[in-house]
């Protein structure tokens, strides 16, 4: 399927530099930096309250950073907001779907907002997320896994270079988790998307990602390939994670 193919090794497609977010007198994100490459799955790992969702909200323009810079596909989010936003699709926490519309009606609705030929991509995207044949059911009758997959199709309507998913396997059963993992791998490997996945579920993420960053108390403490960070697999990711985060949640 020729949906989207622009694979090119190690091309940075999203960079975050020194991101910080203050709410009142509390800084919930203090220093988050990483680079995301085309065609890779990047895991953003941290305990509850580490600042993952807040970081994602900054990456997709839902909240304004107090400090730092985000560049998406060459567009600075601070100075070139709309162009940067056109290059990123996301699901923050849960997919934003109308329950009393069908999957197709939801996609048609969002396609109208996106414009730019998005409606013509609906069937291809439905097949890509394995929802062809189910798209005419009401969203309220979908399983969580189906809603997540329609949410991903929705996020891809604008043909972005980056897909950002906040805890995409939360609440899914083992079959749903596997389906999500395979979809994410396919989007990166076959379609050249950079996929950013936040999670605190290490064993799931381990099977899905090429590189990771570990975030704790609003700071990225380590970043690299799994092999680099685990010393070629000599130490477990869980040991590293607990050592860096002190085993605490905030």
Ligand X SMILES: Nc1ncnc2c1ncn2[C@@H]1O[C@H](COP(=O)(O)OP(=O)(O)OP(=O)(O)O)[C@@H](O)[C@H]1O
Q: Which residues pair with 15 in a beta bridge?
A: 35, 71
Strands of the 162-166 sheet, one edge to the other? 75-76, 67-72, 12-23, 26-37, 219-225, 211-216, 41-45, 194-199, 162-166, 88-91
Which of 23, 98, 115, 143 is in the footprint of ligand X by CB under 6 A? 23
The entry of Mg ion, ligand X, none near residue 46 (CB within 5 to 8 angstroms by kind) is ligand X
- For 92-225, list the strands marked E by DSSP: 162-166, 194-199, 211-216, 219-225
Which of 3, 49, 66, 242 is in the footprint of ligand X by CB under 6 A? 49
Rounded to the nearest 10°, the torsion over CA 136, 101, 57, 82 is: 80
Q: Which is nearer to Mg ion, 51 or 89 (CB)?
A: 51
72 binds ligand X, rule: CB under 6 A: no
45 binds ligand X, rule: CB under 6 A: no
Q: Which is nearer to ligand X, 128 or 165 (CB)?
A: 165
Which region among 50-58, 74-82, 99-107, 201-209 touches ligand X (by CB under 6 A)? 50-58
Q: Which of 160, 206, 215 is nearest to 41 (CA)?
A: 206
Q: Which is nearer to Mg ion, 59 or 125 (CB)?
A: 59
33 binds Mg ion, rule: CB under 5 A: no
Identify whether the C-beta of residue 77 lies closer than 8 Å to the C-beta of residue 86: no
State the Cα–Cα distance between residues 212 and 13, nearest whole angstrom.
16
**Angle between helix 174-189 and 144-155 (nearest 10):** 20
Q: Which of 162, 167, 193, 194 is nearest to 180 (CA)?
A: 167
Least spacing, CB of residue 200 vs Mg ion, in Å: 8
Which of 16, 36, 50, 209 is in the footprint of ligand X by CB under 6 A? 50
22 binds ligand X, rule: CB under 6 A: no
Q: DSSP character for 249?
A: -
Find the binding residues for Mg ion in span 43-72 (CB under 5 A).
Answer: 52-53
Q: Which is nearer to ligand X, 29 or 72 (CB)?
A: 29
Q: Which is nearer to ligand X, 89 or 218 (CB)?
A: 218
Least spacing, CB of residue 166 vs Mg ion, in Å: 6
Residue numbers of the site for Mg ion (CB under 5 A)? 52-53
């Amino acid at each position: 399927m020729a949906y989207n193919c622009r694979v090119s090794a190690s091309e940075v497609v999203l960079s975050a530099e020194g991101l910080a977010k203050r709410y009142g007198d509390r800084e919930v994100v203090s220093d988050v930096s990483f680079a995301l490459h085309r065609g890779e799955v990047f895991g953003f790992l941290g305990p509850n309250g580490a600042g993952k969702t807040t970081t994602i909200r900054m990456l997709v323009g839902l909240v304004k950073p107090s400090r730092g810079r985000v560049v998406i596909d060459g567009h600075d989010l601070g100075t070139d907001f709309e162009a940067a936003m056109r290059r990123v699709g996301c699901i923050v926490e849960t997919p934003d779907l109308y329950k009393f519309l069908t999957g197709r009606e939801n996609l048609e609705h969002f396609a109208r907002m996106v414009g730019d030929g998005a409606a013509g991509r609906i069937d291809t995207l439905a097949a890509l997320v394995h929802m062809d044949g189910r798209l005419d059911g009401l969203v309220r009758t979908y399983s969580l896994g189906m809603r997540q997959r329609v949410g991903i199709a929705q996020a891809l309507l604008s043909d972005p270079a980056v897909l950002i998913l906040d805890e995409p396997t939360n609440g899914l059963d083992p079959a749903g988790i596997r389906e999500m993992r395979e979809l994410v791998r396919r989007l990166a490997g076959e379609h050249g998307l950079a996929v950013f996945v936040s999670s605190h579920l290490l064993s799931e993420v381990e099977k899905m990602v090429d590189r990771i960053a570990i975030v704790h108390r609003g700071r990225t403490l380590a970043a690299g390939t799994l092999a680099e960070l685990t010393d070629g697999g000599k130490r477990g990711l869980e040991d590293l994670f607990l050592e860096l985060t002190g085993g605490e949640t905030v």
